[in-house]
């Protein structure tokens, strides 16, 4: 049989362990992380940016052709890459979207998002009214298959060898966000 002392210590140790575990779990996701994985929220300038999905785009595919409306064929040895975003404004004021997005690879090469004429395009420099989102409700982008606004990049074929790819969302000061893309 267990001694009285041991019977008291074991429950206390278990309670201590559970308390530490609860503190550790509650710390996960707390604060305002500025470096996240694809699918997680990063807050930049009071807006919540989520990369819903990222993938290569094929101009010969009907769905992708709509995302690539107005784009010339990619240069030889390059492919289009789409980053689909959801941006939420949970504040009571109108806020501005970023003017640019960039991707960097593991060797530091920078790729800028292209301008787009697509109905699915991310509206660089646009506004998000209070308690609204981008893509706006009942728009082509919001009701499309991925339900996100797309930022298009032209990447060289060899960029896959230089992973991870990081999407940079500029913000004031140290408030910029970085999303590790799932490529």
Q: What is the CATH number of the domain that holds 56?
A: 2.60.40.1240
176 plus 153 within the same structural domain: yes
Number of domains in the chain: 2
15 plus 40 within the same structural domain: no
How far is CA 127 from each of CA 4, 47, 109, 138, rounded to the nearest angstrom?
A: 67, 11, 29, 17
115 plus 173 within the same structural domain: yes
3 plus 67 within the same structural domain: no
User: pTM for the complete prediction?
Assistant: 0.82
Residue 173 pLDDT: 76
Range of 58's domain? Answer: 32-180
Condensed to tens digits (0 to 9), the pLDDT of residues 96-118 reads: 999 999 999 999 999 999 999 99
pLDDT tops 80 at residue 165: yes
18 plus 90 within the same structural domain: no
CA dihedral 132→28→85→61, nearest 10 degrees, is -140
Q: Phi and psi of 127, rounded to 5°?
A: -120, 150
Q: Phi and psi of 144, rounded to 5°?
A: -75, 180
pLDDT tops 80 at residue 137: yes
SS3 (DSSP) at 162: helix
107 plus 156 within the same structural domain: yes
48 plus 128 within the same structural domain: yes
82 plus 96 within the same structural domain: yes
Residue 55 pLDDT: 97
Instruction: Give the residue among 95, 62, 84 at the shortest CA–CA distance from 141.
Output: 84
């Amino acid at each position: 049989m267990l001694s009285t002392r041991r019977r008291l210590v074991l429950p206390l140790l278990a309670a201590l362990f559970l308390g530490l575990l609860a503190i550790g779990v509650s710390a996960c996701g707390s604060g305002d992380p500025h470096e996240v994985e694809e699918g997680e929220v990063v807050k930049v300038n009071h807006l919540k940016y989520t990369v819903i999905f990222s993938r290569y785009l094929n101009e010969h595919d009907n769905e992708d052709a709509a995302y690539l409306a107005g784009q010339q064929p990619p240069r030889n040895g390059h492919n289009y890459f789409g980053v689909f975003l959801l941006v939420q404004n949970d504040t009571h004021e109108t806020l501005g979207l970023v003017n640019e997005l960039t991707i960097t690879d593991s060797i530091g090469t920078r790729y800028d998002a292209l301008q787009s004429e697509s109905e699915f395009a991310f509206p660089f420099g646009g506004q998000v009214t209070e308690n609204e989102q981008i893509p706006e409700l009942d728009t082509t982008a919001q009701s499309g298959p991925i339900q996100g606004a797309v930022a298009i990049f032209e990447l060289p074929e060899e960029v896959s060898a230089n992973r991870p790819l990081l999407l940079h969302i500029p913000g004031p000061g140290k408030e910029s966000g970085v999303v590790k893309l799932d490529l």
